[in-house]
Structures are given as structure tokens and as C-alpha cells.
Amino acid sequence: MTRTTSSLRSGARRALLSLAVPLLALPLVPGAALAQDYPSKPITLIVPFPPGGPTDVASRIIGQKLEEGLGQPIVVDNRAGASGTIGAGLAARAKPDGYTLLMLATPTLLADHLYARVNYKLFEDFDPVGNVYDLPIVLVVNPKSLPEVKTLQDLVEKAKAEKGKLNYTTAGVGSFGHLTTEMLKKLAGFDMLHVAYRGSAPAVTDLLGGQVPIMFSDLIAVLPHIQSGALHALAVGTAKGVSLLPDVKSVADQGFPGFDATSWGAMLAPKGTPEEIVARLSEELKKALADAEVQKKLEGVGTFAAWQSPEQLAERMRADHERWGQVIRENNITRD
């Protein structure tokens, strides 16, 4: 009787243990199964800027290539407004299943420095997937308005002589062009009056018209006008020159060593997206950016493929968030 009872108890324990093993594994099954089947439907890429802008154009080029590797459509969803914060807020609240992604651009990275309140916490609400592109910024003048300004040093001397009366334009208060110009002004010891527009297009229109003679602009917006001769490029903000403007030196190479201003775009996923899915997206993004045709298309519109891993992107986000945040604080720049 004792042996029978003991055997029964032992058998019961074995039965319970056999049940416990799959039960312990259950929390891992949903995420793993999701990643294994991913993707099984179209993926939405939220672009928090209007159609036709640099972030939108680059996103569509990359999205088309990603479709090949992922086997599902990439649907670009433009949700513009407030330096990208509206779209970023929507992405932050999306289900973290890999079917909603965000294309982050520099203005959205810096928005919490400029606005009293934003509807997302960048470093808490998102997981980095990978850096996508670099967008060089270039200092240009209207040669009809400032025919005597041929070089960066000419501009510095002109601005000093004008003692703050010379105007420059940007795509808006707190735009990357605004921050870059303020950094240059401090380094070179001159002043200019900021004339802010609502967007790059109207600023470039008035730049071409001569209403405002100077602008630090993203390369996409002004490249055709540089090529036509309507605008004259004085310097690029990147640490070194860019291939699309082989005759234009960087600010750093014209007497201001260490100057480096590059806008960029990166892909993020809502926080909590399964690691396997983030890894799959990151690998497909890396492959897409290594494609020669994709690189050619990006360069054709003034951007450059610039792959970085999730870990490298996280470091870049924090470094630029702090660096440009300091420029914003020092110049008391705010947005409504």
C-alpha cells in the first residue's frame, strides 16, 4: 500500500511537472509566433511631415526597396504638423507589433526643447530600428542681392560691417537651418537678423526673389537652384564636403574646425515591439541602404544613405538631442 501510494504521488508530481514546462514557456510564445509570421500584412510608415519634403521623399525611396525584402507594402502616412510632433505622437501610441513605424527627422528629435509640451517621450516611447539617411545643409546667397559675397569669409565680413542689419531666412523658428546659423554666428563672432518662414518652400521662394538674401537650407530644397546659378553656395555644414557639390568646402574647412551640422532621418518602432521584429526590420533596412540604386536615388534628391545600427542610432539620438538642445537654450529659442 505504501509503495502504491508513493507511486501515485510520484506519478502525480511528474504529471504536474510536465504541465508546468509548457506553462512556463507560454509568455514567450505570442511574441515569438508574431515574429515568425512577420510581416503578414501592409506596414504603415508614419512620416510626420508633408508630401514632397526631404523626409517624405527619402521615406518613399526606402519604402519601395523595403517592400521587396519584407514581402509586404510599405504605406507612407503623412501626418504633418508642429515639427513632426503630431505624427510622432500617433506612432508612440500605436500597437507595438511592427506594423506601425515612424520616420524620425531632426526637428522631431529636438521638439521637446522647443515646445512647452509634446505628446510623446522620444527616449521612452520608441525603440531605434536604424539610421536611414543624412541630409546635408548648405549656406547659400542670392548672387543678385549680394554680388560681392563669393566666400564664407566674405559673408562674415559683410555681416560684421552691417552690424546685425543683414537678414537671413530659414524654414522656421527652431528649424535646423536656424540652429546651424546661430551656431555659426557664435563661432564667427557676427550677427544677422532672422526672418523665419513657415516652411522651406516659401523661404526659398523669397530667397530667389531677393527679399531675403541668405539661407542655411537643406540641400534638397536648393540644389536645383545652385545648379542653375540662381543661388550661390558658400559652404556645407557637414564636417567634410559632399559629392553633389564638389567645389563647395565645408564650414570646418574654411576656418572653423570642428563645425559639423548634419540633419538626418531614422526609423523608429513603438516601444515594446518584439526584439525579433526590430532585428528583422533593421536587417532589411541595412540591405536596402546598401543597394546601389537606392543610394543613387537618394543622392539624386540631395540625401545620402547613412546606415547605423539600433545601438549606434540610440547614441546619435542622445548626442544630437543634447548638443542642439544647448544651442536652443543658449539662444532662448522657443516655439508656440
Those residues whose C-beta lies under 8 Å from the C-beta of residue 175, and which sit 6 or more positions away, are 107, 196
DSSP string for 226-270: HHHTSSEEEEESSSS--TTSTT--BSGGGT-TT---EEEEEEEEE
Q: What is the reported pLDDT for 33?
A: 58
Phi-psi region of 210 (alpha: psi -120 to 50; beta: other; left: phi over 0): left
Q: Is residue 83 within 8 Å of residue 112, measured between CB atoms?
A: no
DSSP letter for 25, please. Answer: H
Q: Alpha-carbon distance 128 to 271, whole Å?
A: 9
Cis peptide before 39 (omega within 30 of 0): yes
Contact 248, 138 (CB under 8 A): yes
Q: Write out the chain's pLDDT in tens, 336 residues.
A: 444 444 444 444 454 444 444 444 445 445 555 567 899 999 999 999 989 888 999 999 999 999 999 999 999 999 998 889 999 999 999 999 999 999 999 999 999 999 999 999 999 999 999 999 999 999 999 999 999 999 999 999 999 999 999 999 999 999 999 999 999 999 999 999 999 998 888 999 999 999 999 999 999 899 999 999 999 999 999 999 999 999 999 999 999 999 999 999 999 999 999 999 999 999 999 999 999 999 999 998 889 999 999 999 999 999 999 999 999 999 999 987
Give the per-residue pLDDT at 52: 85
The CA–CA distances, whole Å, from 259 to 175, 207, 250 equal 18, 25, 8
pLDDT score, position 220? 86
Tell me the domains of the chain and their CATH numbers: 34-135+263-330 (3.40.190.150), 136-254 (3.40.190.10)
Residue 23's Cα: distance from chain center in Å? 42
246's CB contacts (< 8 A; 6+ apart) are: none
Q: Could you give the residue ranges of the DSSP H alpha helices within the chain?
A: 2-25, 29-37, 54-70, 85-92, 106-109, 111-114, 122-125, 152-162, 176-188, 200-209, 219-228, 275-290, 292-300, 310-330
Predicted TM-score of the model (pTM): 0.85
Q: Please write the tens of the pLDDT for every residue from 148-183.
A: 999 999 999 999 999 999 999 999 999 999 999 999
